[in-house]
Each structure stands twice: as structure tokens, then as C-alpha cells.
Amino acid sequence: MCGIIAGVNGSFMAHALIDGLRKLEYRGYDSAGIAVLGERIKVRRAVGPVDQLELLLRDRPADGSIGIAHTRWATHGKPSEINAHPHVHDGIAVVQNGIIENHQELRRELIAAGHSFLSETDTEVIPHLIVEELARSSDLVSAIRRAAARMRGRYSIAVLDKRDRDTIVTLHMGSSLVIGRGNNGAWVASDDVALTDRVTDIASIEEGDIAILKRSEIKILDKKGTVVDREWAPVEESQSTTASTEWPDHTRREIDEQPTAVATTLRNLANLDIPECLVNADRIQIVACGSSYYAGMLARRWFEELAHIRVDLEIASELSTRPMLDTDKTAAILISQSGETADTIAALDLLEANSVPTVAIVNVARSQLARRADYFWPTSAGREIGVAATKTFVSQFTAIAQLALRVARLKGEVSISRAVELQAELCRLPSSIRNIFGCEAQARDIASRIKTSESCLFLGRGADYASAAEGALKLKELSYIHAEAYPAGELKHGPIAVIADGLPVIACASRGPTLEKTLSNLAEVKARGAYTVLITERGELECDAADDVIRVPQASPFIAPILHVVAMQFLAYHTSSQLGLDVDKPRNLAKSVTVE
Ligand code: AGP
């Protein structure tokens, strides 16, 4: 949520910052801005995507030898030029990612001390606080540290001081920062993707660290002020963040990349040790948000039915709202694509405080979650740029299934033949997914029927309810159509009241004991005028209750729900593109949700 990049390279800073912002745009894209320092600080800010900022710079060029830049996902104050970062006061320019929770209180104190503000943002208090602290001593680093002591929240900042043309100071207070060095100077960014073309080595800095960036030197101070070194690694081959011409957008490409994502995830997990805490656990607490939470719902079946371990699921932001009881013999699994989701990291803090061992299933190895959890069980989907999770979701499912199966085997809870059967099915998953690509034309047709609907329901039972929930999330994220998922049996307890002529109802129904009941529920809504779509496996099944049937390859009830999800990704994707929306960057969203 919000992306920051800053650098000290001696020249042509604006171009480099714009290039970095483009790569960070997936973190927020309602406005963007830069501040560069040459003879003086020049600030340029524009509402909308980075393209708008670039256009502004063509009209009103600004350049310098050092600079800071920001792409925004609004928290305090609507997207506007005045609310866009950087915020400047008395020669101190600041960009921030995160939230300053006590900003109102600080604003009141500063106003009482004679300061005045231009924007509605929480960030604007930061340059004012730094200037106030600089009045006590002219050392920027100490002033930033003292200003930070007055602020609450998770955030990271980069600061530029007009009096020093060779230094950027950056502070990590809970929102990730990576620093980079190479022939092009010293750099810092929210994410290494913004730096890989610019530097040769990268290091993640830790919470509480201040990094002082000069063109030929980077100094890191930990929270106690001690000079420390962090682990530097050569940059990995940069993954393109610009959509290839072969695909209309990133999301479509990422849907196509799913077979490879699954195969790579399986390969990379093959020799990894199983976290012992799961084998010894009587209870597993799964914690995640959004799509990752729905992957957790799918995980429940694998752990409960195969490993016979009770699973409790919690949305990460809800974990702290209830007392944590009976943590003895509990192990936690935290699932996250980015590994930077603030709610999930807050849940990790809580679990750690309660001495619960943690396993992180994460796609970004350098992320906070991957580095901080007791065990890291990676998904290997490659970088996902489209804001809606697609290939990372199927990779999460794959990683979870693999983990549960191996825990079940180690505990002796599943027979060798059953385990071999399920493993073979998992290994066939890439080809099963490829097979679903054949249903794209049908999904496009159904999309043309639902695209004008105001609302849409998704139904399923058990694991099918988890895939229905993910299908509903994909549709609402990408098409802005209100979509809700219900356990199919729950519909008659109230939600059926909303069924009206033509309302689309999409049911996921795997073969198994719940199939017939779900079909009956679909018949009930069809009888009340709904337009009904059934997603199920290929076979003999005839279903009068469905106006349209999308058939995915035959699979066991353990695997089928993930195949249903792929079919619904196509549905959401085509609904969005037929509505002419930005599939990669849906309104109001950001890829990495780094605020609570
Ligand atoms: C998925 O399509 C969404 N963009 C969103 O729900 C996402 O899954 C959620 O914010 C969690 O993110 P994470 O996996 O990076 O923790």
C-alpha cells in the first residue's frame, strides 16, 4: 500500500524515479509524486497513475542529483494533488508508506506550536515534526529518531533535506524497505522490484533501522543507534513488470502461468523439511486475509481429513479481537502472497507473543513474514503484478496440499496408497488447469450475460464454499459487481429473499456427498427466476437446475475446488474486460496491503 523509492546517484534522478514508480505502481495508483534536489527542492505531484506524473514532468521538468518518490493508495484524504506525496516543510521533504495512527493528536500539538498544514494526510505531520526536532539539534538522523518517538503506527519513510545534496535518510518502522547499491549510487524502495535494474546488491533492513544513503556509502543504524550490517545479496534476475504484447494485460498472463506456478511450487517444496511444530500439533490456527484466507479454507479439509488435526481459521485482522485460549500444542500457519500484509504481520506479532510456533506460506522470500516466521514454506508463483490474486492462489493451494499430505504421512494418518494417489493428482494439476483453458470461450459468453447485473451470488458446500468465496471475490474485485458467497445450505435461511428474475447464481459442486444437496439449492433459486450457472466436473451428470454448466476435468473432491476457481477467474476476467475496466489495477485496491 503506497510505494516509495528514493536514491542518491548524482544526476538525472527524475527519470530513474519515474521508472521505479512504474514498478511500484501495483502498490497504489491514485496519485504519484517526486521531490528532487538540485539547486533547490523541486516537487511535482499528479493525480492518477504514474503516466500523469510523467506528463507533468514533460511540461514542468525537474531534476537533481538525489530524490524521493511515492505512488499513493489513499488512507487519509482523498486522491488529490495536495494530498499526494512528497510533503515538504521548511526544506524537509518526506514520503511515507503506512499509517501514523496518532497524526490527529500530533497535528493539534503542532498547530498549537504555530505550524500550519496544507493537506489532509497523516504524512504531513512528519516533516513538521522533523523540523521541530531539528531546531533542538541540527543532526537530521537524531531529529528523525526523535520525531519517530512521537509517532505511533507501522510505516516507513524516506527523507530529503535541502541542506544536504548527498544524503537520503530512511527509517523502517514496520513497513518493508530494501536498500540497494551499485554503480548507479545508493537506493531505497518498498520492494526490490523497483531496484533490480539499477543496483547490483540488495539488503532488507529491519524494523527500527535507519539507513543513511550517500552516493558511495550506505550506513545502517539499528534501533539502538549501533552501526550494523544487514545481509546483502546479489540482485536476482529482474522479472518484467511490463505486460508482454502476447497478453492483453498482466492478469491474463498470470492466469496462463498457473500450470507453471503449480509445477514450480511442487518442485521447490520437494526436499524441504516438514515443520515439526505441525506434526506435533493438536490444533492448527490458520490466519490470512482475502484470497489467502480462502486458500486457508481449502487447507482445512486437507489437514482435518488427511492429517486428522483440528483446524481453526481466522481472518488476520480479527485474530486480536478474541482472547487466545488453549495455545498449548497449537501451531499457526500464516498464508500471504506478499508476506507484507499488515494485518497478517500483526497476527504474527500476537502469535509470537503467545509463544505459538509459526509457519509462513508466502510467495515473496524476502518479505517480513517469510523472514520472521519460525518456518518458511514457499510458494513459487513468480512475481504477480495483477492486483487480483490468480497464480499465487493456486500456488498457495498447492503448497498447503503438499504440506498437509506430508504431515499426514509423517503422522501415519494416511495410507501410502492414498498418499500416492493424491500426490499423483497434485502432480497432474498443471495439466488439469491447462485443460480448463478450453472453457474460456464459455466463460466469456456467461460474462456477457452477467456483466450488466448489479449483484451475483456464489454457492458451495464445504471446500466448494471456499472456492465459491474466492470466485465471488474475484468477480467483485475485477468487475465491481456486488458478489457474495454463501454456504449453499444457508441460502434458505434468509439470503434467498434477494433472488429475483435474472439474478446470476453460480454454484460450485464437486462430486461427492454434498453434490445433490447443492443441486437442489440451485433448483430452488432457479424456481424463483435466477439465472443459474453450475461449475462441476465432466461426466454423466445432467442438471436441469443449471442454465449453463462449466465443466472442469474429473478430479477428487480434494482437488476439484481449485479447478472451479480457475474457471471463475476466467468469468471475472472477461466480465471486467467486457466492461472496459482496468483488469490489472481495479479501483480502490492495491496489491500489498500494508496498513491495518
Ligand atoms: C486477492 O485477489 C486480493 N487482492 C486480496 O484479497 C489479497 O488476497 C489480500 O489482500 C491478502 O494479501 P496477501 O496474500 O499478500 O497477504
How far is 348 from 372, CA to CA, in rounded Å? Answer: 8
pLDDT tier at 389, thresholds 50, 70, 90: very high
Other C-beta atoms lying within 10 Å of the C-beta of residue 284: 25
176 in contact with ligand 1, CB cutoff 6 A: no
Same CATH topology for 3-234 and 437-582: the answer is: no
**pLDDT above 70: percentage of residues in the chain:** 99
- Closest residue by CA, ligand 1 atom 16: 336
pLDDT of residue 243: 58
CA dihedral angle for residue 7, residue 12, residue 15, residue 19, rounded to 10 degrees: -40
477 in contact with ligand 1, CB cutoff 6 A: yes
Give, to the nearest 10 degrees, the angle between helix 103-112 and helix 125-134: 50
pLDDT of residue 74: 87
Q: Where are the alpha helices (DSSP H) in 242-353?
A: 250-256, 258-269, 276-279, 290-301, 342-353
Whole-number average pLDDT of the chain: 94
289 in contact with ligand 1, CB cutoff 6 A: yes
CA-atom Rg of the chain in angstroms = 25
Question: Is the bond preceding residue 378 a cis peptide, omega within 30 degrees?
Answer: no
478 in contact with ligand 1, CB cutoff 6 A: no
pLDDT of residue 238: 54
Pocket test for ligand 1, best of 73, 251, 292 (most atoms within 8 A of CB): 292
- Closest residue by CA, ligand 1 atom 3: 388
Distance 476 CA to ligand 1 centre (A): 13
Least confident among 2-11, 443-452, 586-595: 586-595
Superfamily in which the 3-234 domain is placed by CATH: Aminohydrolase, N-terminal nucleophile (Ntn) domain (3.60.20.10)
- Closest residue by CA, ligand 1 atom 10: 290
| Tens digits of residue pLDDT in 277-294 | 999 999 999 999 999 999
Pocket test for ligand 1, best of 289, 369, 587, 592 (most atoms within 8 A of CB): 289
Domain ranges of the chain: 3-234, 245-414, 437-582
How far is 117 from 56, CA to CA, in rounded Å? Answer: 24
Distance 457 CA to ligand 1 centre (A): 21
Q: Do 170 and 213 contact (CB within 8 A), yes or no?
A: yes
Distance 369 CA to ligand 1 centre (A): 14
How far is 543 from 506, CA to CA, in rounded Å? Answer: 13
| Tens digits of residue pLDDT in 83-136 | 999 999 999 999 999 999 999 999 999 999 999 999 999 999 999 999 999 998
Query: Span 245-414: which CATH code?
Result: 3.40.50.10490
254 in contact with ligand 1, CB cutoff 6 A: no
pLDDT higher at 366 or 420 = 420
From the options 3.40.50.10490, 3.40.50.150, 2.30.110.10, 3.40.50.1980, give the CATH code of 437-582.
Answer: 3.40.50.10490
Burial class (CB in 10 A: 0-12, 13-18, 19+), 453: middle
Q: At residue 172, what is the residue type?
A: H
Residues designated catalytic: 2, 591
pTM score: 0.88
